[in-house]
Amino acid sequence: MKIVIIYATTEGQTRKIVRFVADYLAESAHVVELVPAAEAADLDLSRFEKAILAGSIHVGRFQSELADFAHDNASALNAMPTLFLAVSLSAAGDDPADWKGLADCVDRFAEKTGWTPGRVEHVAGAFRFTQYDFFRSWAMRWIAAQKGESVDPHQDREYTDWQKLRTTLGDWVVG
């Protein structure tokens, strides 16, 4: 099966996630093309049987280049099996208000772009302190403290559940 993965990343965790996804799918004998959303303007989706879009949520929004791609290709995406990997730190927790916020972000994205994902999977992201400037580092430490998390601002901390993601992919690709 030919599967395209279009993604946008801010600090790099989404890129790490889609590389994992691409490797998993390739090891399962699928042909995979991994494309940054910023480079996907001329991509012909008719060459693929399925599509995965992945992006991270920052301040309630996904990256604009991912939204632009989804908007410009909504008809083609809506006509094929799709999976949307929504990466966020909130997906690491179990706060109902956070999960409602995540669902609202995806709903706004779908409304804005005209693409309705066939399946949405929320994937826990990471604190990428090595990528943050002083102000972002301070803000992320504050967010962690509000959730009762202690973090070391000199070390990255990953929350992605790789086994859960592997299971999700296995279920989606055969569905």
* pTM for the predicted model, two decimal places: 0.89
For the chain, residues with pLDDT lower than 70 are 127, 132, 137-138, 140, 144-145, 147
What is the structure's pLDDT at 128? 77
Q: Could you tell me if 14 and 95 lie in one domain?
A: yes
Same domain, yes or no, for 85 and 134? no
pLDDT in the model for residue 140: 66
Query: For the chain, what is the domain count?
Result: 2
- What residue numbers bound the domain in which 136 lies? 128-159
Pair 32, 109 in one domain: yes
Residues 6+ away with beta carbon under 8 Å from 161: 123, 124
pLDDT at position 145 = 66
Give the contacts of 134 (CB within 8 A, at least 6 positions apart).
none
Indicate whether 11 and 92 sit together in one domain: yes
Same domain, 86 and 28: yes
What's the confidence (pLDDT) of residue 94? 86
Residues 148 and 62 in one domain: no
Residue 69 has a pLDDT of 98
* Contact assessment for residue 134 and residue 112, using Cβ atoms and an 8 Å cutoff: no
